[in-house]
Chain A
Amino acid sequence: AQSVTQPDIHITVSEGASLELRCNYSYGATPYLFWYVQSPGQGLQLLLKYFSGDTLVQGIKGFEAEFKRSQSSFNLRKPSVHWSDAAEYFCAVDNYGQNFVFGPGTRLSVLP
């Protein structure tokens, strides 16, 4: 079945540490890929997207993500986390307009 998985439900990092959030998808062809962030009490904000071409994409707030076709992964990274990055992060897949599916989310906590 087609799906998007985020293996980590909750991650805690110290401020200034690096971050990697994992995302795997299960689709026949490479879909469009997105990362969204949701701060407490807020809607979802787009961080970055991958359509094709360069497998390393840059987003807002210093985030980047790398698409790896062989692993069906689209992991989100940030070299140095700030306290304001504490939020919930969602990976999403657009299967060429047929469906826009979200992963279950990873909650990020940041220690001072």
Chain B
Amino acid sequence: GDSVTQTEGQVALSEEDFLTIHCNYSASGYPALFWYVQYPGEGPQFLFRASRDKEKGSSRGFEATYNKETTSFHLQKASVQESDSAVYYCALGLMQQGTGSKLSFGKGAKLTVSP
């Protein structure tokens, strides 16, 4: 079945550090890939997406590049801030006949940034 693997459960950084959160996927078709961010007490917020090989998605200083060869979509940010502390989810979306698009999520990575 379609699945997303995020290996980091927790990431602890200091302000201005470089961030990488890994995301690998397995899918039978050609999925769209997403990053969502969730702050405490809120629903997941869409960050950005990519739908083609080598396409880069980006928003708010975060970016990821769709890599079909390595089946990856790793999230990166050059310089994190304390306000970036949140849980980050990688997801894949596949169109399904008659049911629209369903998202499959990784387990999430909790980012904590210290001042």
To the question of whether A and B form a pair in one complex, the answer is: no
Q: Which residues of A contact B (CB under 8 A)?
A: none
Q: Which residues of B contact A (CB under 8 A)?
A: none
